A and B are shown apart, each in its own frame.
Chain A
Amino acid sequence: MSDVADRVKKIVVEHLSVEEDKVTENASFIDDLGADSLDTVELVMAFEEEFGIEIPDDAAETIQTFGDAVKFIKEAQ
């Protein structure tokens, strides 16, 4: 697993208090990992900080799953 995916997973696990093995490629933050809409805003904030990138609101809306987040961050870096 790439470094980006590891770091994203760590944030998701810590923030949503979920088991690491639940955070799979297609795991939806809201449907599978129990996040509410405010959690997703906070996750995006945490990603921005961890990776020193800016995630605009319209892009943030497309980040629904763990895989989406990793893909977006890799492209943004």
Chain B
Amino acid sequence: MFELNGKTALVTGASGGIGAEVARALHAAGATVGLSGTRVEPLEALAADLAERAHVLPCNLSDPEAVEALPKQAVEAMGSLDILVNNAGITRDNLFMRMSDEEWAQVLDVNLTAAMRLCRGALRGMMKARWGRIVNITSVVGATGNPGQGNYAAAKAGMVGMSKSLAYEVASRGITVNCVAPGFIETAMTDKLNDDQKGKILSQIPAGRMGSPAEIASAVLYLASAEAGYVTGATLHVNGGMAMI
């Protein structure tokens, strides 16, 4: 089950903790992977580690032209684009009253608008192939909100609405569009939290621990697989029970 032999997948933010693990999981299932991100070094290291069926496709997601070009580059490198995982995300946390227009715009641009552009660019090939999988990585805070993350939560909630709308449009063409919503996962993003913050968070997680990137990757692998062909417009929450929604 969950084999992806012969499939091609583009993963954004593959230089980060979750993205790298998603790329590894899809690759282990047999997919050829396009590794995208802004930092080339970790992408090269991951590609070297995967050895075969891995292509490095650097892209700055705040540059609209680079984003437009990325799906085409992925097709050039891999021959097709069957699976798109919009995983890249940034945070610019601030209290709402202090949040600058720039902090708001940066987060919306990279986390939401770039994902929209990549979906749009990837759809043409998927429509022709009558098969496609789009998995957007959102966040538990898109559903629950989080103080200090008005911009991030807005972008992530926006992603869910976007995914559902797109799922409607392309369902009849064999293309599914779903979201995976991680809770608190051990990554560089959550390493920035201090012990006090971590303690408070853990007290709200029934599982009593943070999740691992591999646990997000498994959810993505499922939604990317042929077996999940009847699942679309869904958000799969992977959060240790922190928010049962």
Contacts and interface: CB of A to CB of B under 8 A. Distances in A.
Interface string B116-152: 0000000010011000000000000000000000000
B40 interface: no
B173 interface: yes
B169 A45 contact: no
B124 A38 contact: no
Contacts of A45: 124, 127-128
**Contact-residue bracket for chain B:** under 10
A12 to B, nearest CB: 16
B170 interface: yes
Interface in B197-218: none
B128 A38 contact: no
A45 B173 CA distance: 15
Main secondary structure of the interface of B (DSSP, over half): helix
Interface in B140-178: 169-170, 172-173
Contacts of B173: 38
Interface residues of A, number: 4
A25 interface: no
A42 interface: yes
A38 B166 CA distance: 12
A38 B172 CA distance: 10
Contacts of A38: 169-170, 172-173
Interface in A27-54: 38, 41-42, 45
Contacts of A41: 127
A37 to B, nearest CB: 9
Contacts of B124: 45
A-B pairs with lowest CB-CB distance, top 7: A42-B127, A38-B169, A45-B124, A45-B127, A45-B128, A38-B173, A38-B170
Interface of A: 38, 41-42, 45
Interface of B: 124, 127-128, 169-170, 172-173
9 contacts: A38-B169, A38-B170, A38-B172, A38-B173, A41-B127, A42-B127, A45-B124, A45-B127, A45-B128
